[in-house]
Structure 1
Amino acid sequence: MDGTVVRRVIPSDNSCLFNAVGYVMDHNKNKAPELRQYCLLVLSWHKLPRDGVCACAIELAILADYYGREIAAYDIQTSRCDLYGQDKKYSERVMLIYDGLHYDALAMSPVAEAPEEFDQTIFLVHRDRTVGPVEGLALNLVKDQQRKRSYTDTANFTLRCGVCQIGVIGQKEDVEHAQATGHVNFQEYK
């Protein structure tokens, strides 16, 4: 397989998961309204909870079913790959990369600098349930990002409340402070 796996940056606008899925499925980075609405509809039908990291996993499973394709989500910090839709044995797979707070798209490109219109984002799943060499290339990219510490450690990052200036450590304390005070304006600090 000629080419390289590249990370296609999705804007940080609180819709990155949906827009990343839109890009790998439809080459469209503006699918968030449609895909978010569909997920909310499915969640309301099944009365499923929608909170935090669990919500992203549920939404990725819903979107895998919606498109009839597996979604591989690579976590930079752990280099783990979570696969959604694999129980359905779909014949195609797409790939995302997650940095602890944000999702971007992964694509196969003829060269790293090639324009996005040359991206291949949908890959055939082989009998051994892999997508062949592209899987190794994706994992190499993820491990390279991990070596560069291109992720946010949500369990241990330090934040300061923009309202009362209290410092908190990690997502758990962030959520607890927000629930206790109603404050939602936090900035990372070191």
Structure 2
Amino acid sequence: MFSMLEMRLRVRHAGGQVTLSDPTPETTILELKQYISKALELQLTQNVEISGGYPPKPITNDTLSLQHAGLKDGDTLNARIIDNVNTVPQRQTTLKIIRDGIVEMPTGFLTLRVMDDDNSCLFRSIDTTISSDLRKVIADKIRSDPLTYSDATLGQPRDKYIDWIQKPNSWGGAIELAIFSSHFSIEIDSIDVQTGRIDKFGEGNYEERVLIVYSGIHYDALALAPTVDSPTDFDQTRFFITDNYVLEASKELVDGLRKKHKYTDVANFTLKCEQCNTGLKGEKDAQEHAAATGHTHFTEYQ
């Protein structure tokens, strides 16, 4: 049983950090928000949204006690300050590109978290937004569902694909994103820089989404940060499906990348296989070469 001893909670927000020592395990989430509002001297027209855990996940049931919400003494929470207004301002007056890959929102800064430029960038993006140990997730799912993931779907024999996808330099794509969405019970929105198209894996099935950006040959993650230069452990990467603000900000950010041509035309770009020096054109050639040879080291050249 929890005692009535007070809990110390750190609360990160856009202006810095505060420490609360008033809450107890029996304090409700609503009361915690009131403590935060008081500590930050918020106006009556401002509300608080809180998230906790790793990656930070919104805590929305105001009736839960801190104990039943899974919060413990010494935990760190993220707080977003929301203006309580009845009308939503126009997109152009609420979203502002600060610099490449950063869009200012009323609740923070939507930030492109750039992954290492290697064939594991998709897995790093999902690792950043959801979880790790991802290649095993893919291999296990394909192995357990031969009807969905047939040789024809995978473009090569299943056993060969399972072996290939577990290699650290093998890249992933739509097949892997669909599996991750189902495995983690979350919608994954992949935004294509060249076209602005949003591919929604798990659309309509879940309450939350994560956002990644695809530049043709590379995936990066999107995160909401409290300040422009805040470290990644302050990031929020899971968002409610109903949060259209963050989706609009994502489109704005990607529009900025497109205008600066920060994408690769995968149908026409030229590659060289570093393992056999074969010249290749486009993503299709690269995939066929990888399937036929098992080679995974490619570099782009003009």
Verify same fold: TM over 0.5: yes
Of residues 124, 147, 150, the one that matches 2:262 is: 150
1:60 aligns with 2:159: no
Change in CA separation of 1:118 and 1:36 when aligned onto 2, cut-off 3 Å: same
Structure 1 unaligned spans of 5+? none
TM-score by length of 2: 0.52
TM-score by length of 1: 0.80
Q: What is the CA–CA distance in structure 1 between the aligned matches of 2:138 and 2:293, rounded to whole Å?
A: 29
1:3 aligns with 2:108: yes
Q: What is the CA–CA distance in structure 1 between the aligned matches of 2:258 and 2:273, rounded to whole Å?
A: 28
Q: What is the CA–CA distance in structure 2 between the aligned matches of 1:43 and 1:132, rounded to whole Å?
A: 33
Q: What is the CA–CA distance in structure 2 between the aligned matches of 1:61 and 1:178, rounded to whole Å?
A: 21
Partner of residue 36, structure 1: 135
Structure 2 unaligned spans of 5+? 1-105, 157-171
Partner of residue 50, structure 1: 154
Higher relative contact order (CA 8 A, sep 6+): 1
Give the count of matched residue pairs: 177
Q: What is the CA–CA distance in structure 1 between the aligned matches of 2:257 and 2:175, rounded to whole Å?
A: 25
Q: What is the CA–CA distance in structure 2 between the aligned matches of 1:46 and 1:172, rounded to whole Å?
A: 25
**What's the offset of the Cα at 1:45?**
1.4
Give the AA of the match of 2:250. A
> How large is the RMSD of aligned CA atoms in angstroms?
2.5
**What's the offset of the Cα at 1:189?**
2.1
Tell which structure's C-alpha radius of gyration is larger: 2
Q: What is the CA–CA distance in structure 2 between the aligned matches of 1:66 and 1:179, rounded to whole Å?
A: 25
Q: How does 1:20-169 map to 2 (within 5 A)?
A: 20-26=125-131, 31=132, 34-47=133-146, 48=149, 49-51=153-155, 56-88=173-205, 90-126=206-242, 131-160=243-272, 162=274, 167-169=279-281
2:154 alignment partner, SS class: coil
Change in CA separation of 1:51 and 1:137 when aligned onto 2, cut-off 3 Å: farther
Richer in strand (by share): 2
Moved more, 169-178 or 74-83: 169-178
Richer in helix (by share): 1
Q: Give identity over the alignment, percent.
A: 40
